[in-house]
């Protein structure tokens, strides 16, 4: 059932078998999986049923580089369903290599191999509604042309893989009816976990202190506590709970908050292809109607040989805001976005009216094309539950932007810390130190060189950098939106991380973390699908604990 925490009496103590802090993708997946066990479950959600309310402001914090990383209160959201309410829906599993210890990447290696999570990825597909667990063109898209680029053969560079797209699934909306009907579950909305209270020896969590904006405070006591509040807030709660663990719960190794990763992304080059109109660059639907898109990746052997960080690339459309593309559809999409409240007009500077006029001229010159394409796209984007992810236009010149998304190395100096400033509940706000390392940049630059070499070798095309100074282009790359990874890293050795291979905080018997913050490395892939898979894995572990099969 769904309850408003503001109705709980001040000073009351609630009890449950399991307390889950956070009702995003991880928290809801855990709750859904545990319902059938008969365990009593309390889920604490800081936001409301469909809005964050004043709780969103608690995300605010300090940031060392606002150019390369979004402010901390953006690209994540407090409500039932968490940030899945903002999620675009991209689903890609991590590769086998991501789980290995790679000698060219410090602190790499997961405490278990990919094969241990494969079955959970399959189950995660059901929660994310992204079709079959199949990422090969040959089997996922039967009857489709086998190659992205006609005549191109996979080797060091592969084009036969795909990404899948969720509708996107807003977990709070899709799974709310089940959560509402469950008798053994209480989802408390507007409930802010403000401190974890350990036992006197620090080896267990006795309770969770909860606050509301109505001024009431209460306590939740549970046999097992799971932190599923996202990478930054989970870390903040652990760091701020210092009554017994003076440096924060789980900070025995000095890794808590360290090793922060996102993904770096952007466009530094275009690629001109010789394959004509046969290039497969747009969205395709699988037999179940799931949108898929082909991507460019490097083989495991090539990554090892060239000491690359994992990354993928996409053939992308021209930048919508640049009228130089001469495309009526893209110009219409740009102006509509401005009209409907895109970026602030001031960002366009004094030349904005000239820019608008150039876009209008594109529309006037190609209005029949815009009128034929935009209504169809609008229906697929706005009127269907399984919406097309974005507007893509085939290039008349056969030149495409080469979008990349790359993992980052887990560097100890990239970290989340507590700030001196405090929020309305006297919790320290967060301070994030984020840098793109030279290894991050060099890997992306080397990957572009290899793509160019392989295209030329196979007579399929060539790459052109957007500017002559490639090193400057690389200095301008940014972090991807809300990918908050690595700050409670998983390790078999307690001295090398925060949680163990079962996502239990080292040294604390009944405290677990369900978040991308446990990922030791970030792969190239968006984290949501793997978050759900890891939550399913943790759910099975908790079922075994509470059934007596596994000892805590």
Q: What is the sign, positive or negative, of the torsion defined by CA atoms of 27, 33, 38, 39?
A: negative
Round to whole Å and give the CA distance between 358 and 331: 9
The pLDDT of residue 336: 67
The pLDDT of residue 25: 97
End-to-end CA distance of the chain: 29
The pLDDT of residue 325: 66
The pLDDT of residue 385: 81
The pLDDT of residue 356: 77
Superfamily for domain range 2-53+78-130+169-262+482-547: FAD/NAD(P)-binding domain (3.50.50.60)
The pLDDT of residue 318: 64
Q: Domain map of the chain by residue range?
A: 2-53+78-130+169-262+482-547, 133-165+264-317+392-407+438-476, 323-384
Round to whole Å and give the CA distance between 319 and 340: 18
Round to whole Å and give the CA distance between 363 and 471: 36
The pLDDT of residue 367: 62
The pLDDT of residue 527: 97
The pLDDT of residue 220: 98
Task: Tell me which residue of 62, 84, 111, 68 sits closest to 232, measured CA to CA.
Answer: 62
Convert the pLDDT of each residue in 70-108 to its tens digit: 999 998 999 999 999 999 999 999 999 999 999 999 999
Residues of the chain falling short of pLDDT 50? 342-350
Residue pair 204/57 in contact (Cβ under 8 Å)? The answer is: no
The pLDDT of residue 197: 98
């Amino acid at each position: 059932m769904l309850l408003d925490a503001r109705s709980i009496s001040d000073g009351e103590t609630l009890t449950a078998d399991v307390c889950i802090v956070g009702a995003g993708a991880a928290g809801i997946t855990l709750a859904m999986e545990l319902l059938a066990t008969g365990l009593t479950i309390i889920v604490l959600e800081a936001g409301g049923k469909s809005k964050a309310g004043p709780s969103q402001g608690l995300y605010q914090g300090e940031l060392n580089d606002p150019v390369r990383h979004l402010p901390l209160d953006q690209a994540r959201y407090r409500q039932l369903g968490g940030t899945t309410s903002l999620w675009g829906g991209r689903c890609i599993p991590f590769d086998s290599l991501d789980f290995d210890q790679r000698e060219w990447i410090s602190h790499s290696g997961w405490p278990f191999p990919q094969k241990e999570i494969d079955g959970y990825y399959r189950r995660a597909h059901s929660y994310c509604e992204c079709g079959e667990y199949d990422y090969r063109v040959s089997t996922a898209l039967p009857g489709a042309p086998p190659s992205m680029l006609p005549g191109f053969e996979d080797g060091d560079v592969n084009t036969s893989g795909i990404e899948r797209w969720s509708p996107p699934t807003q977990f709070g909306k899709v799974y709310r009816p089940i959560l509402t009907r469950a008798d053994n579950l209480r989802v408390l909305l507007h409930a802010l976990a403000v401190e974890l209270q350990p036992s006197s020896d620090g080896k267990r969590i006795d309770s969770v202190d909860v606050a509301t904006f109505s001024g009431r405070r209460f306590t939740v006591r549970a046999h097992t506590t799971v932190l599923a509040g996202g990478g930054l807030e989970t870390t903040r709660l652990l760091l701020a709970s210092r009554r017994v663990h003076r440096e924060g719960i789980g900070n025995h190794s000095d890794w808590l908050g360290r090793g922060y990763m996102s993904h770096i992304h952007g466009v530094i080059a275009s690629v001109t292809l010789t394959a004509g109109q046969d290039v497969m660059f747009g969205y395709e639907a699988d037999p179940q109607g799931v949108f898929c898109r082909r991507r460019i990746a490097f083989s495991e052997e090539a990554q090892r040989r060239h000491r690359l960080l994992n990354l993928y690339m996409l053939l992308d459309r021209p930048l919508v805001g640049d009228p130089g593309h001469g495309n009526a559809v893209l110009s219409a999409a740009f102006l509509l976005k401005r009209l409907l409240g895109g970026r602030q007009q001031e960002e366009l500077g004094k030349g904005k009216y000239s820019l608008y006029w150039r876009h209008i001229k594109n529309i006037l010159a190609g209005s029949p094309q815009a009128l034929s394409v935009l209504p169809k796209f609008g229906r697929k984007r706005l009127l269907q539950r399984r919406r097309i992810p974005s507007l893509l236009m085939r290039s008349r010149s056969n030149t495409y932007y080469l979008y990349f998304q790359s993992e980052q190395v887990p560097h100890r100096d990239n970290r989340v810390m507590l700030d001196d400033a405090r929020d309305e509940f006297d919790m320290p706000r967060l301070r994030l130190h984020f840098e793109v390392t030279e290894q991050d940049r060099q890997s992306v630059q080397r990957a572009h060189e290899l793509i160019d070499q392989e295209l030329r070798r196979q007579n399929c095309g060539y790459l052109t950098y957007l500017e002559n100074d490639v090193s400057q282009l690389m200095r301008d790359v940014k972090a991807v939106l809300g990918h908050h990874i690595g700050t409670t890293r998983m390790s078999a050795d307690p001295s090398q991380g925060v949680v163990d291979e079962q996502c239990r905080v080292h040294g604390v018997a009944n405290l677990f973390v369900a978040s991308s913050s446990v990922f030791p490395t970030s792969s190239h892939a968006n984290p949501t699908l793997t978050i759900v898979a890891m939550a399913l894995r943790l759910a099975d572990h908790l079922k075994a604990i509470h059934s007596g099969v596994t000892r805590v």
